[in-house]
Amino acid sequence: MDFSSKACIRFGWEAFKNRPWFYVGASLLIVLAYLIMAAISGGLDVAVTGNYEDPSFPGTLVNFVLGTLISMGAAAFYLNAHDHPETAGFSSLWHPSPFWSYLLANLAVGILIAVGFIFLIVPGIIAMLMFMFSSFIVIDREKGPIESMAVSKLITKGNRWKLLGFALLLMLINLAGLLAFVVGLLVSIPVSTLAFVHAYRVLAGPAAATRDASLAV
């Protein structure tokens, strides 16, 4: 199946329309989790530094760990919702098992993108497009960070310009959600994330046969 930004976004919208309150509820739960995380880390900052605006090591650590767990849960939830649209539930929002692989993959990709942006911006954009599915691959296949990045590099090959346009469209969708009195994000985030997962599934499908052979060499 050929990759199409339009088809992926249409998929995200149709999936959202089938269970709108389910996705709105999931978005609210994720937002609530981030608010609780901020309250805990902020409380630790106040206890250690005496000022909510001055970060402390315990507060930063808790923020980092909880933020990673919430992000992992969101990725697992949307993968499950994409694959099992009628039966997916909120339980997949808790998915802590590949914590270290997910953390290391995100750190490695973040460093590569940051270094790329330092060197004339374009290498950073290329790194972002090459490894954009790495964290989803960690959750989906429970691979290590290096293998997940290798798979992401493989499945995006030949489609990176299309993926750049796709990423810009998703940004515009979420910007529209933000402008719609912020509440629009409860719609735009599920739609754009489902579209993103669909893009991953479409691209991973035809590459599946060559992926393992390529990585085994």
- Domain boundary assignment for the chain: 5-216
pLDDT value, residue 1: 58
Q: Where are the alpha helices (DSSP H) in the chain?
A: 5-18, 20-49, 57-83, 99-118, 122-130, 134-141, 145-156, 160-179, 185-216
pLDDT value, residue 54: 86
Reduced to 3 states, what is the DSSP secondary structure of residue 176? Answer: helix
Cα gap 81→92, rounded to integer Å:
9
Q: From the centroid of its chain, how far is CA 213? A: 27
- The burial of 91, by beta-carbon neighbours within 10 Å (0-12 exposed, 13-18 middle, 19 or more buried), is given as exposed
pLDDT value, residue 90: 96
Are 188 and 30 contacting, i.e. CB atoms less than 8 angstroms apart? no
pLDDT value, residue 116: 87
Per-residue pLDDT of the chain (217 residues; tens, 9 = 90+): 578 999 999 999 999 999 999 999 999 999 999 999 999 999 999 999 888 778 899 999 999 999 999 999 999 999 999 999 999 999 999 999 899 999 999 999 999 999 988 877 788 899 999 999 999 999 999 899 999 999 999 999 999 999 999 999 999 999 999 998 778 999 999 999 999 999 999 999 854 434 443 433 3
pTM over 0.95: no
pLDDT value, residue 62: 93
Tokens representing 186 are: 């409860």
pLDDT value, residue 214: 41
